[in-house]
Amino acid sequence: MTVRKNILAGWSAHLVTVLIGFFLMPYILGTVGEAQYGAWVFINAIAGYSSMIYAGFGATICRYVADLSSRKEWQRLNVVVSTIQAFYCCGALLVVAVTSLFAWWAPALDKWGELPVGQIQVSILILGLTIGLGMVASVYGGVLVGTQRLAVKHGIEMSMGIIRLLLTLLCLQQQYGLITLSLIFLVATILEHSASAWFAYRSLPQLSIAPWRAERQAAAECVHFSAFSAIAQLAEYLIYFTDTVIIGLILGPVAVVPYQIGLRIAQMIQIPIAQIGEAVLPKAGELYALNDRAGLARLVHQGMGVAFLLAGGFLVGTCYFGDLLIRTWIGAQYASSQTVLVLLVASQLIALPMVVVRKALLGIGQVRVQAWIDLLEAFLNLVLSLLFIQWWGIIGVAWGTIIPLYAVELAVLLPYSIRVLQLSRQELWRTVVAPQLPGIVALIVYCDCVSRVIPASGWGPLLLVTAGGGVALLGTRAIVLFLERWDRSPGRVPANPVVESV
């Protein structure tokens, strides 16, 4: 399946997920209340750190499956995947042990307010079991990604989103709300990974995963590759989970809610663009295995260009209409979340094009330097967030995210990537930045005009504004593409042959 089809499939699934999320978040918040919802987000942020026990093996599976399936080395592929699953079994046991300790320690944290501590402890235990089971079975999702069956994977995720929605509507109530949410996630996780396993075996008949296929030599090779991927994953979790944890520990779980609203919207914007990188990873591994360096550079340039265009469009729309979105979606009482939202979306203007670069580096096996760069960014994020929260609260935490991201990505990671992937600075400007500017300028003009007459809230105006912005951005980009292709057409006669020949 082509990269374009995989990206479109991911976007279709994400559209369904966004629609479900837009409905579920205010529904859950209104059903269980601000205190329980804040506790749920806080617990998930802390439990999310346990995913670092994946130790970078997720990227290892995708990279090796993409490489070995291209070479049709089925026996070695089965050895690698079986070896990684053996690591995951040990990691799952550790996850259950760590979350059990967290549940035991939970009463000592005096930030729960009047919430029953027993319910919080049970929720933590169920969440630990969910993460452990998901870890063992996640190899099947990695096989689907590595064989470029992302459409299948996204279809499963979309179906699970619908099942979560139905279970939430049928089962959720204020009493025992935390426990109910935890059980819903457990059931959905079991169904999701069962479906992934079935499709993995069907898509790759040569697949045979079993404990006795694990080998020491394969383990050593996977650990060597995964070690630096694990550092990169550690950095990613420090960046994306630390903000919520810091707010919860210093300001309390209730303070997490307005930050989570901005973060949630930013993630809804981030995920579909990040899926470009997810589709690039296995394709980059395939091109590298075939020694097609020109094709690899072209793939990265195109992916970064699309990511920059969409991220820029979302940033412009957020600056003008973020307040309208929050008022319509959650309510006017959370209008202060707009500043957090704008800062988090602004960080994605650089982060999302660089996601494409990161995935390409993973696809060709270059993880060591990238891992240390990511860790540097995560450390600076942690330090600045702890410092700024004392002065500016949750807005300071958002500044603690954007400042190190811009500094490290542009000054360190981008120059390194240009050298390793053999990219051209001129091509980066010509294909990634310059062609997107007319569309972004057109969107700014459109938003500035519409913002003067749009109502303060309402789904109708919001949807109309969004549709019009999409036409302005993508329509302008389509015109630019048409003019570029027409200018390169072999049958076109130059308007001034003398000047063009010069």
Q: Give 10-residue mean pLDDT values along the chain (502 residues).
A: 61 72 80 80 72 64 75 82 83 85 80 75 88 84 78 82 88 80 90 88 82 76 66 66 79 80 80 73 77 87 90 93 86 81 92 88 79 85 90 91 92 92 87 92 94 81 89 90 74 43 30
Distance CA 320, CA 341 (A): 12
Distance CA 466, CA 330 (A): 18
Burial of 303 (C-beta count, 10 Å sphere; 0-12/13-18/19+): buried
Distance CA 83, CA 387 (A): 42
Structure tokens at 307: 């990511």
**How many Cβ atoms sit within 10 Å of the Cβ of residue 287?**
23
Structure tokens at 495: 């308007």
For 291, list phi and psi in degrees, rounded to 5. 60, 35
For 230, list phi and psi in degrees, rounded to 5. -65, -40
Angle between helices 437-450 and 293-329 (to 10 degrees): 10
Q: Which of 298, 274, 237, 269 lies closest to 358, judged by CA?
A: 274
Task: Give pLDDT, residue 20.
Answer: 80
Distance CA 275, CA 221 (A): 27
Structure tokens at 321: 């209409």
Distance CA 190, CA 214 (A): 24
| CB 99 within 8 Å of CB 128 | yes
Task: Give pLDDT, residue 309.
Answer: 93
Task: Give pLDDT, residue 446.
Answer: 94
Tell me which residue has tokens 């109309």. 464
Residue 391 identity: W
Task: Give pLDDT, residue 488.
Answer: 67
Residue 239 identity: I
- Rg from Cα positions in the chain: 23
Question: Domain locations in the chain?
Answer: 1-214, 229-485
The three state secondary structure string of 423-487 is CCHHHHHHHHHHHHHHHHHHHHHHHHHHCCCCCCCCHHHHHHHHHHHHHHHHHHHHHHHHHHHHH
Task: Give pLDDT, residue 314.
Answer: 92
| CB 214 within 8 Å of CB 83 | yes
pTM for the structure as a whole: 0.67
Task: Give pLDDT, residue 52.
Answer: 61
Task: Residue count of the chain, please give it.
Answer: 502
| CB 199 within 8 Å of CB 144 | yes
Which residues does 166 contact at the CB level (< 8 Å), separation at least 6? none
Measured between alpha carbons, how far is residue 175 from residues 35, 178, 188 in Å? Answer: 12, 8, 21
Distance CA 138, CA 133 (A): 9
Residue 320 identity: Y
Distance CA 394, CA 469 (A): 29
DSSP helix/strand/coil, 109: coil
The three state secondary structure string of 281-319 is HHHHHHHHHCCCHHHHHHHHHHHHHHHHHHHHHHHHHHH
Structure tokens at 401: 């995210």
| CB 303 within 8 Å of CB 433 | no
Residue 440 identity: I
| CB 262 within 8 Å of CB 340 | yes
Measured between alpha carbons, how far is residue 450 from residues 259, 310, 346 in Å? Answer: 27, 20, 21
